[in-house]
Amino acid sequence: MPTRIPYELPRFDGKSERPHVMGILNVTPDSFSDGGRNAVAGTALAHARQMIADGADIIDVGGESTRPGSEPVSLDLEWSRLVPVLDEVIAMGTPVSIDTYKAEIARRACAAGALIVNDVWGLQKDPAMADTVAEAGVHVVMMHNRTEADPEIDILADIDRFFEASMELAERAGIAKDKQILDPGFGFGKTIDQNFRILNRFETLAKHGLPLLAGASRKRMIGTVLNAEMEDRLYGSMAVHMTAMLKGAAIVRAHDVRPHADCARMLEATRLERNPT
């Protein structure tokens, strides 16, 4: 087992803690935003280094696109995409998250030194995931998801039920409470209106007593409002994420690290009423 780089979640008590920025590193050919761009190991590693230089607190590495409508890939194919980059990214010294819903991928990545499992199905897809996370002693992001959007449901009530089920699985497996993170899953099984309802009421998710992650980077909810293509959604992404941070997000997951890191630092300075450094 490699030496683990310590990672502590921000307390984010509204006074002193800076939200953390999770930089996205997709080593896939079909991710919705940057598919294929980092599929070559050298390019992926260079991008990881740049995100760290730009202020990333976490690097989130994924070997399978989890965008709605994407084709699932086999465990072997997913792992083959991760092998050329995972060890080297971990060795860079910034905490690494593994973006997967497969327990075996999570087990291998955590054995290599990953500190966070980012599960887009909130421990509810692979029956072995909760035990795998518990045995590894790592953090877990439990994201709300649906197989399809339903405009008729109360999306916040649906998220609450899903979170309670995920938290129960985590507790049953023995995952420490201080290692659990919740993500409402912008864009996953939700209508555009439901996404904005979640954002507008993001602070209500704090009732579950766990740190919150917001991940809306470059998503369709932004493109629809701004009538903007993927490459023109930076400012919209920052607006959504800044709103989420003001409403209690402890982590934002973003493609564009530098501007998000700057926003997080300015928010921290405002709360402290001084330069935090």
Q: What is the pLDDT of residues 27-74, one digit of tens each?
A: 988 554 554 454 568 899 999 999 999 999 999 999 998 776 778 899
Handedness of CA 11, 270, 236, 152 (dihedral sign): positive
User: Is 153's pLDDT higher than 50?
Assistant: yes
Confidence grade of residue 7 (pLDDT, cut at 50, 70, 90): confident
Confidence grade of residue 164 (pLDDT, cut at 50, 70, 90): very high
Helix (H) or strand (E) holding 20: strand 20-26
User: Is 212's pLDDT higher than 70?
Assistant: yes
- CA dist 258 and 236 (Å) reads 15
- CA dist 154 and 139 (Å) reads 29
- CA dist 239 and 228 (Å) reads 14
3-state secondary structure of 41: helix
What's the CA angle centered on 94, arms 222 and 267, to 5 degrees? 50
User: So what's the pLDDT on residue 256?
Assistant: 98
User: Is 275's pLDDT higher than 50?
Assistant: yes
Residue with tokens 């994420």: 241
Non-local (6+) Cβ contacts of 226 within 8 A are 232, 233, 236
Half-sphere exposure of 212 (CA within 13 A, CB side): 26
Supply 5's token pair.
Answer: 């780089």
- CA dist 263 and 246 (Å) reads 11
| pLDDT, greater one: 40 or 188 | 188
- CA dist 41 and 105 (Å) reads 18
Averaged pLDDT for residues 164-183: 97
> Which positions are annotated as active-site residues?
219, 253
Domains of the chain: 20-272 (3.20.20.20)
- CA dist 125 and 139 (Å) reads 18
In the chain, the percentage of residues whose pLDDT exceeds 70 is 91
What percent of the residues of the chain are helix, what percent strand, and what percent coil, each to the nearest 5? 45, 15, 40
User: So what's the pLDDT on residue 32?
Assistant: 46
Supply 133's token pair.
Answer: 């996370």
User: So what's the pLDDT on residue 100?
Assistant: 98
- CA dist 12 and 269 (Å) reads 13
User: So what's the pLDDT on residue 12?
Assistant: 55
- CA dist 200 and 71 (Å) reads 31
Averaged pLDDT for residues 147-169: 98
Of 2-11, 19-28, 204-213, which range is least confident?
Answer: 2-11
Helix (H) or strand (E) holding 223: helix 220-226
pLDDT digit string, tens, across residues 85-143: 999 999 999 999 999 999 999 999 999 999 999 999 999 999 999 999 999 999 999 99
Q: Are strands 116-119 and 139-143 parallel, antiparallel or unpaired?
A: parallel
User: So what's the pLDDT on residue 65?
Assistant: 85
In one-letter notation, the amino acid at residue 149 is: A
Of 6-15, 38-47, 107-116, 188-197, which range is least confident?
Answer: 6-15
